[in-house]
Each structure stands twice: as structure tokens, then as C-alpha cells.
Structure 1
Amino acid sequence: MFKENGEYQVTINGISHWVKLEGIERGTVPMVVIHGGPGGNHYVFERTAGSMIAKERTIIYYEQRGCGRTDKPEDDGDYRIADLVEDFKGLHRLLGWERVDLLGYSFGAELSLEIAYTLPHTVNRLVLSAPSMMQSPLQKLVQIAGFASVGAKGIGSGATIEETYQALWDHADTTMVDKLLFQDSSLAAMNRKWWEESGLVNTGLMMRALENDISRPSLEERLSDIPHSALILVGAFDRNTGIPVASLIHDRLQHSALAILSKSAHFPDIEESDVFTRYVCSFLR
């Protein structure tokens, strides 16, 4: 279906999805890029590491249901992992390539692992940047420690992990979130400017649906069943998911390499775009 670079709107499972192709003339195994959030978009990645990787690889972007330039489902609860994997299945059928590489960042890396687990013969290789593990208490502990390290208030003694975690996010302003996610304040400002320029509005519907999806089996317990070759990239100063979560995933996967980028926090694709691109392209070659 897709023969030329450019942006498309395609209907998948009754929802109009935004899709973009770059570097189709490279003729490589296509790399599908999967954004984070949950509820984010690709606007910043397109303008940083994505544009650099496309000089060597064929890249396919799509934005998930209810995110960015893709329409929302009729039911506000239809954002479960099973729904997102079904959307990917539909996209893959439209693409027409037998196998694709996946590059997921933050929650997108977690979703990439779910796709690889469900569709092992569709996925070729995995690049996981700053991967999340939403079901793991470890991620909440990393974020609590991260907020504390950048001077956040609201870490009350005697509170449960869940109460502390929720209180921190309830009271976090944009300045504190930027400190959590970035090492370089100028790049944090650039990222926020691009978010605003893109018109990104995160409704929180996907996060709520994922948190309430009690039918979802533990991904942590299924990681050892994922056979694909994987590259895990994480910033040394990642205070959001961090080295502990990346290491957990690295330890459980059958075939993975872990690289720590020395100057970045949660977005090495923005803070160390050159280094990030070299790692990705070398691995995919």
C-alpha cells in the first residue's frame, strides 16, 4: 500500500490512524517507531533522532489510537494493551512487509515488547529506549527517588509507595517534570516548545485504561519468552524509568544488549541524538 515517503491517514479497526514513511528509498527492513506517554506523539522524535536514522534506514511512524494525529475510539476504555496490539496487527497488514524492526521509547518500548511477545514472527529486532514497566513497583520507586533527587516536595513519612507516588505526580508542575525527564534544561525547554507546537493534549484516558486493565498478565514474567535480539538504551541520569528498570528487562530477555548513554536522562534520543543514532544504526545493520 505504501510506495512513497509522506504522511497518510489509514483506517485500522475503525479508527483513522496517522502514518508517516521516511527513507523508503533506503530499501532496508522497515523500522516501526512506537511512541510513549502513554498518550504521547512522535512530533519531537521526528525532528531529532528520527530524521537522522532515516538517512540510513526505512522508518515508519504511526500514532496510537487517541494520540497525536490519530482519532480516538468511541469508547473511552478502549485503550488496553490488547487494543493497541490489534491496531499494530492492522497496520502490519497494510504495510505489506513480512517482518519489521521495532523502536519503542518509554511506554512505546513496553508496547514493543508486548507486540513482540504476541507477534513473534512479525518482529525482526527490537530497540528499546528508556523502557517502562508500568506493572512493576520498581518503576514507581525509581520515580519517587527521581523526584526526591530534583528537590520535589510531598514525600511524606509513613505513606505507602502508591500514596507517595500519586502525591508527587499530583503536585508536580512543569518545571519539576522537566527536571525529572531531562539533564539539560535547554533541551527540556525545546522539548516542551515542540510539544506545544504539535498541539499535544494527553487526555489521560490511555493511562487510566492501562492501569485498570486487570486482565493483562504480567509482562515481567513473560519477558523470558521473547526470543528477539534487542538493544536497550538508557540515559545514565534517567529518573523516570531508569537503569533499574532497563536492567530488569535486560536480565529477563533471552538476547539483549544494554547501553548506558552518559549525558542524558529519560530522552537520550533528544539529549544525545548523535550517539543514540549511532547505536541504533549499528545494531540494525
Structure 2
Amino acid sequence: MTHHHESGHRNFAGVTLLCRVTALTLLLLSTGCIHTVPFKDAAGRVIPGSIAAMETVSIGGVEQSIWFRGVSRHNPALILLHGGPGASESALFRHYNADLEQHFLVVYWEQRGAGRSYHADIPPESMTIDQFVQDLDEVVDLVRRRFGKDKVVLLGQSWGTVLGALYASRYPEKVAVYVGVAQMADTPQARRLSYAFALSEAQKRKNAKALSELQEIGPPPYASVDDVLTVGTWVERFGGMFHGNLSTSKLIWAALGTDEANLVDLVKFGQGNRFSLEQLEDEISQLNLSKRHRSFEVPVFFLLGRYDRHVPAVLAERYFKTIRAPCKRLVWFEHSAHNPPFEEPEAFNRVLIETVRPLTTGTGTCAE
């Protein structure tokens, strides 16, 4: 009996040790060195003129994370302005939209207070829309200087469309094309529509928990960031954030599956997202681009998900109709809600490659 007991004990200890080693290995893998792979030809040689670099640069007095990726430095520069605020999407664009790197020099920028650009000592008073636009100007000038570009393409996603639209209207001489994905327009009205959508769906579905939480919060203006997030959670659950089978958890796994992100990024994402939301809430809650920013001197694209209720696409469409620009185009993504780049990546990439890129060389048109 003793013999069997010892054997069982040894087996149990072995299994426990194996579990610990496995757990440690997984931890090391998920928190290991992040890197970005170079572009190589069929023979395994790095392609001349390509770039694949992850860097930290001081922008506006704050250390910020920027990656540069492209098969050719001569391709038009495309600067990604992620959503949130504070919601770095660099790894997601790497996972879903890497094809863009064959046609653009893609600049993945984690804004102040987001992702690896989040630091506990960032002055809260520096978290203003105006400061973000100044930061973007430094990024644009860095790209223009380093890669010899006159102009850049700006691609804003959700919150990033605020920076993109403001920058394109303020510095048209530096912008080749402005692309707004899930374009923000009128926040107070957007929040009223999102709340009404969530409440209506809760009633239709007889979801007592949603009804209780939404009725307790009441329609906007909201009392806190927590209220904003709670309503957003129900909008997502009821299909206003993702139209297909995509979800926040699937996006997290997609990001962690890239070479450029690990669990540290997940932690920093949470910290930066909360910090940014809290610091910028006062400005964002009152924001109305459609009132003052209707005239652009650069080509303007709006790429909208038909089912977007998070930043309601109907308001972006209304805003688009009032815009004056040398050329403008609205593209609907019929199988997307708030995230066309990740919900319909092939169609999204095609618009950028076949329609936006030619405009940077003077060979394209905005025509349908």
C-alpha cells in the first residue's frame, strides 16, 4: 500500500511540476520580448528598402511607442490613429490588415496615455484634444522628415477620427487623404441614439439585467465614465459594436497572437484606456465636429459600418453630406458595425489599396 501511495504521490508531484513548468512557459511566451519581423524575399534575405521597426520616441515631452512597417519606404505613408481614447489597436491592424504594408509605409502610433505610451507619470492636464493634435503634428513631421514625404495619409478609427478630422482641416498642406472609419460627429446626439438603441433592444429581448442597469443610469448626459462603459457594454452585446461573430475577447486573442503584443500590452491597454477615458471625458462628451468642421482642402473618405450603434453611422452619414472637399466619398460596409477593418478586413484593405492609394499619386478619383 505504501509503495502505491508513494508512486501516486510521485505521479501527482510530477503532474504538479509539469503544470508549473507549462504555466511558466506560457507566461514567458506571453510576456517575452516583443518584436516585429522583417520583410524577406523567397531566399530569406531582408528586402532592400523595406522597414520593420518598433521604436520609442519623445513626442510632446512624453515617451511614445511607434512602429514603422512597409515593404518599401517609397510607398505612401499611412498613419493609423487608433480609437478609444486610449485603445491601442496596433496589434489588431497588424493581424487583420497586414496587406496594407505591401502598398503603404504603415505607421502604427500608440497615442499618449495608450498602450506602451501609457506611463503613470503622464500629467493628467496634458490629456487634451489640442495636445493630441500637437502630438500628431510631431508624428507627421517625423514621418515626412525621415522618409522624405511631402504629405501623409491619415486613417482615423472612432476616437482617432477626431484627431484626423481636426488635423486635416488645420494642416491640409501635410495631408494627402483623410480617411475616417466609424467617424465621430456629434457626441451628445450619438450618446442619445446609442442609449435609445440599447434600451429598445433590452425591452425587445426582455433582458431584465440590461433594463435594470440602463434605467438606473438613465439617458445621457452621463454622471461618470462607468455609466458610459456600461451603456457601451450593452450596445456591444446587442450587436451595435460587432455585427458578425467577432467579439472583444476574439480581438484580444488576435492581438496576443501577433509578434508585437503580449500580456504586458493587455495590462497597459486596460490602464491606458481607463486613464484616457477619464481625462478626456469632459471634452469628448461635448464634442460636435459636424458643427464647425465642414470644410476640407483634402480628399475625405468615410468608411462606415452599416450596423454601427456605438458611434451611430447615421450621424456620420449626415455629417458627410454637409462636408465640402475637393473630393469626398462614403463607403458602406454592409456586414460591419463599429469595426470594419476587423469585421471585413479584405474589403477594407481593398478600399485603401485600390481607391485611397491612387489619390496620393494623382492617378485616382473619388468617384463611385
Same fold at TM > 0.5? yes
1:177 is paired with a residue whose SS is helix
Residue 165 (structure 2) aligned to one of 89, 96, 113? 113
Q: Which runs of 5+ in 2 are unaligned?
A: 1-48, 203-209, 257-262, 359-368
The aligned counterpart of 1:54 is: 101
Residue 219 (structure 1) aligned to one of 285, 289, 294? 289
Would you tell me which structure has more helix in proportion to its own residues? 2
The aligned counterpart of 2:305 is: 235
The aligned counterpart of 2:75 is: 28
Aligned partners of 2:158 and 2:230: how far apart in 1?
A: 22
Aligned partners of 1:217 and 1:118: how far apart in 2?
A: 17
Per-residue deviation at 1:161? 3.3
Alignment RMSD, CA only? Answer: 2.9
Per-residue deviation at 1:166? 7.2
2:342 is paired with a residue whose SS is helix
Deviation per CA, 1:203-260, whole angstroms, max 9, x where unpaired? 433233333249x985222222222211111111111112212213312221321111
Residue 185 (structure 1) aligned to one of 224, 245, 268? 245
Aligned partners of 1:245 and 1:112: how far apart in 2?
A: 17
Residue 215 (structure 2) aligned to one of 144, 156, 160? 156
Residue 133 (structure 2) aligned to one of 85, 90, 93? 85
Residue 10 (structure 1) aligned to one of 43, 52, 57? 57
Aligned partners of 2:299 and 2:323: how far apart in 1?
A: 9
Alpha-carbon contact 2:67-2:109 (below 8 Å) kept:
yes
The aligned counterpart of 1:146 is: 197
Alpha-carbon contact 1:31-1:57 (below 8 Å) kept:
yes
Aligned partners of 2:133 and 2:183: how far apart in 1?
A: 17
Q: Which moved further from structure 2: 181-190 or 31-40? A: 181-190
Aligned partners of 2:95 and 2:281: how far apart in 1?
A: 31
| Alpha-carbon distance change, 203 to 32 in structure 1, aligned in 2, over 3 angstroms | closer
Matched, 1:103 2:155: yes
Aligned partners of 1:11 and 1:57: how far apart in 2?
A: 24
Runs of 4+ in 1 over 4 A off after TM superposition: 157-160, 163-168, 172-176, 194-197
Aligned partners of 2:342 and 2:228: how far apart in 1?
A: 23
Aligned partners of 1:59 and 1:44: how far apart in 2?
A: 13
| Alpha-carbon distance change, 167 to 89 in structure 1, aligned in 2, over 3 angstroms | closer
Aligned partners of 2:217 and 2:131: how far apart in 1?
A: 38
* TM-score normalised by L of structure 1: 0.86
1:7 is paired with a residue whose SS is strand
| Alpha-carbon distance change, 217 to 66 in structure 1, aligned in 2, over 3 angstroms | closer
Aligned partners of 1:173 and 1:213: how far apart in 2?
A: 18
AA paired with 2:242? F
Deviation per CA, 1:135-185, whole angstroms, max 9, x where unpaired? 532211231133235434244399553259978645458676354311223
Matched, 1:207 2:255: no
The aligned counterpart of 2:21 is: none
Alpha-carbon contact 1:15-1:65 (below 8 Å) kept:
yes
Alpha-carbon contact 1:146-1:240 (below 8 Å) kept:
no
The aligned counterpart of 1:251 is: 321
Q: Which runs of 5+ in 1 are unaligned?
A: none
- Name the count of aligned residue pairs: 281
Q: State the identity %.
A: 21
Aligned partners of 2:240 and 2:92: how far apart in 1?
A: 18
Alpha-carbon contact 1:136-1:220 (below 8 Å) kept:
no
